[in-house]
Amino acid sequence: MTTLKNDRFLRALLREPVDTTPIWMMRQAGRYLPEYRETRSQAGDFLSLCKNTELACEVTLQPLRRYELDAAILFSDILTVPDAMGLGLYFEIGEGPKFHKTIRTEQDVANLPKLNAKSDLSYVMDAVSTIRSALSGQVPLIGFSGSPWTLATYMIEGGSSKDFRFSKEMLYRQPEVLHALLDHLADAVIDYLNAQIDAGAQAVQIFDSWGGALAHQQYIDFSLQYMQKIVSGLKREKDGRKVPVILFTKGGGQWLEPMIMTGADALGLDWTTPLNVARKTAAGRVALQGNLDPATLYGSTQEIEKAVKAMLDDAYAHGELTGYIANLGHGITQWVDPDQPKVFVDTVHEYSAKYLK
């Protein structure tokens, strides 16, 4: 077993002492990097890139060559799960992901196959094991999945949506059908994430990208309940080390208390939630991750430094010296100048020293 040279990310997730604040960025392997665009062009299209083990490994490692990041995250897509269930994922240029088939009836849900992640998504597991080997202990590798609610919205709508018309119609008209779909997806995500852990993922994150679109009780009943089921079903230790679980609900800052009760090790925060308030609410029960507005990276060096320092001041305002991972409040955008994330990363490491050393 390769010794992990930099484990501060895992230590912070478990609220253990760290020498400096760890940092990674959601979507850190992506279109803002010219080397990523070149590799994607080489693959032919996005899905082909995801399914090519060597190229998926290459784009995962690209941001680590530019920035002193404390974690790598598997290069894949949350929609690999419904694609493996036969919905026919494809991407329209400028329009995002779409499915050839939608799930809108009780029979549609009943017809969904049970996922066997190790065989049905073997290319993802191949990527995990290849990336883990290529990292050679440099930093930990994060695996991930979409949340059941988020996956369900794409499956019901047939792609991205602004109003979630069909998803919410099912929620209010046929809640039993939606619950059946979400339960099926929760089982699939448990299998998928456990397979990633077996293949070498050292932490996992559940991306609940659209949980914030729900009303309060509906979030609890149709999103959080199923994420809690996933957390309860995951392998939490591998190779003698705990495998931390991060929940991230975009727009979910008002649900921190019930999210803490899921048993997750850490909660991701978007930029709408004050970090000092979240730290006070968490009260040392979970680690927190986030929450710089991704648009901050459009700013000047001085503005990025200012925003990052303010974020770190909030993170350590209550005297806690660990349990915090710096990140963006959502994924980095394709229009960011690749030089600007270095300011973010370096400022986090350098400024946090005043608190941690």
- Binding-site positions for substrate read 27-31, 77, 154, 209, 330
> For residue 161, how many other CB atoms are within 10 A of its CB?
16
Active-site entry in 31, 37, 66, 236: 31
Active site residue 31: yes
Active site residue 40: yes
Active-site entry in 77, 126, 198, 314: 77
Q: What is the 3-state secondary structure (H, E, C) of the chain?
A: CCCCCCCHHHHHHCCCCCCCCCECCCCCCCCCCHHHHHHHHHHCCHHHHHHCHHHHHHHHHHHHHHCCCCCEECCCCCCHHHHHHHHCEEEECCCEEEECCCCCCHHHHHCCCCCCHHHHCHHHHHHHHHHHHHHCCCCCEEEEEECHHHHHHHHHHCECCCCCHHHHHHHHHCHHHHHHHHHHHHHHHHHHHHHHHHHCCCEEEEEECCHHHCCHHHHHHHHHHHHHHHHHHCCCEECCEECCEEEEECCCHHHHHHHHCCCCCEEECCCCCCHHHHHHHHCCCCEEEEEECHHHHHCCHHHHHHHHHHHHHHHCCCCCCCCEEEEECCCCCCCCCCCHHHHHHHHHHHHCHHHHC
Cα angle for residues 127, 129, 66 (degrees, 5° grid)? 70
Alpha carbons 133 and 71: distance in angstroms, whole number: 14
Burial 223-242 (b: 16+ CB within 10 A, else e): bbbbbbbbbeebeeeeeeee
Active site residue 77: yes
Active-site entry in 32, 36, 67, 154: 154
Active-site entry in 27, 37, 66, 241: 27
Active site residue 154: yes
- Residue numbering of the annotated binding site: 27-31, 77, 154, 209, 330
Active-site entry in 8, 11, 15, 40: 40
Q: Give catalytic residues, as residue numbers.
A: 27, 31, 40, 77, 154
